[in-house]
Amino acid sequence: MTPETVMAIGQHALEITLMICAPLLLTALVTGLLVSAFQAATSINEMTLSFIPKLLAVALVIVITGPWMLKVLVSYTRELIASIPGLIN
């Protein structure tokens, strides 16, 4: 196994990680910005007001994109396991 192969496997793993995390992180970011704008407009400084909507939004995104995330992870794992014999030679 060459260093280039290791780097390629690591790069692909990071790409998969970013692809799976992106919907969750973007949802939390957008929800946080909307709640912060609402808090600034109404002068409400309640900590749970920013936490609960983000939690609910991320849970909803997990329910919606969960099957896709699982399919991507299973596909990547199958490709990685199938490539093991070629990596040994």
Mean pLDDT, the chain, integer: 92
Q: Taking a C-beta distance cutoff of 8 angstroms, is the pair 32, 54 a contact?
A: yes
Question: Over 11-31, what HEC string results?
Answer: HHHHHHHHHHHHHHHHHHHHH
Say what the pTM is: 0.80
pLDDT tens digits, one per residue of 38-58:
988 988 888 788 889 999 999
Burial class for 33, CB neighbours closer than 10 Å (0-12, 13-18, 19+) = exposed
Do residues 28 and 54 touch, judged by C-beta distance below 8 A? yes
The token pair that represents 18 in the structure block: 């970013």
Domain segments of the chain as ranges: 3-88
